A and B are shown apart, each in its own frame.
Chain A
C-alpha cells in the first residue's frame, strides 16, 4: 500500500495565448484527501488536472507533489495516475493486459502481471473477466477497469477527470459510493474533477469551487453549502434562491437589506465576506429552498417573505412550491414530506419564514448560469 501524498499548487497560472485558463491558483491538498474541483465546463479544472499530471507546463507558479517541485518532470515520471474522461482503455489489449500495462512497461513477466491483474479484478468485482476486450464490457465495468489500471501503477495521487459523466444516473450514484470506498481502502490522494455538485458533495473531503479560471472557494462540502464565499459558489453548489437589494444597516455579522421585491430582509454575512458590506452597497441574499417554512399569511417582519404561488409539484420526498421572485426568477420552496396534508395554494399569496442564520448575505456578483 502506498500512502497518499499532498499536492500543492502555488500561484499557478496557465495561459493559452491570450486566454487565461487558470488564474493564480493556490491550493493545498492534504495527503490521503478526496479533493474535488467543482465548476462548470470550461472553468479550467481539467487544465489544472493536466498540469498536475504533467501533460501541461504551468505558465507561472509551481506544482508540488509530496513537497517536491514537479517542474520539468514528465507525466511518466510523476507519482500520479490519471483516469481520463473517456477512460482511454487500450482497445486492442485484453482487460487484464490493460490493467497490468504499467507493470509491462517495467518489464514484469506475464505471470506476475496476470496475478496482479486478477487481484485487482477481484477488488473491482470483475473476477474472470480478464480475457475480454474492453469493448465487450459495459460502461460501469469499463469504468472500474480504468480505475484498476490506474491503481496498478501504485500512484501516490489518483487524478479523475469527470470519470462518471458518461454513465447513466443509477450507475453514477452507485459508482460514487464505490469510488469513495476504493479511496478509503487504498488511502491515496484522490483529485476529482466534476461539474456535478452532487458528486463533489457526496464524495469529497474538500472541494474547490472554480469559475472561469479562478478558484472561488475551498473548503469542506458542508462549509461551501452552508457558508458560500461568492454568489457563484452559492448558486452553483446546490439550489438557492437569490434576493437582490441594497444594504440598509450592518451590525456585526447581521445585515439588513432593502430587497427589490420582498421588503426588508435580515441575513447573516457569510464568513468570507465579513466586513466587506457597507451601507448602500449592492448585496445578494441566498436562502435555500429547504430553509423556508410556511408562516401565517400576512405576517410581516425582517425574516418573512410574501409572494404569489405560480406552480406546485410533488417530488416524493418534498413538496416544491414555486413563487414569483426577483428578476423573473422563481422562488423555490421545498417542504419535506412528513405525511402532512397539503392543499394547493396556486394563485394565492403565501408567507414564508426563514431562520436568519440560514440566509447568507454577500456583495452582489456573478451568478452561475444554468
Chain B
C-alpha cells in the first residue's frame, strides 16, 4: 500500500494553506440561479414587447425606474452566475496551470468590466 506512514491525513494536510473559500462558490451559484428564474422570464417578456422598438421607444422603456432597476439587478445577477459557471468550466477542463490562471484572471476582469459598462449605460439612459 501507498500509505506506509503512520502520519494521519490531517497531519499531512495541515499548514498547506486553506481550501480557498469552502462552500461559498457553490452556494452563490445556487442563490444566483434561483434569482435568475424570475429575472430571465422578465427579460424574455420585456424583449418580446420591445421587438422592433425604435431608439426612443427603447430608451423610454429603460428609463422607467422599475425597468432600469430590474435591468441592473438582471445584469449583476446574470454576470455573477455566468462568471461562477465559466470559472468552474475553466477549472475542470484547462489542465495547464499557467493557462488556467491566465484564463481565470481574464474572465474575472472581463465580467468586472462588463458589469461596470452595462450599469453605467443603463444609468446614462435612465437618468
- State yes or no: do A and B come from one complex: no
A residues touching B (Cβ–Cβ < 8 Å)?
none
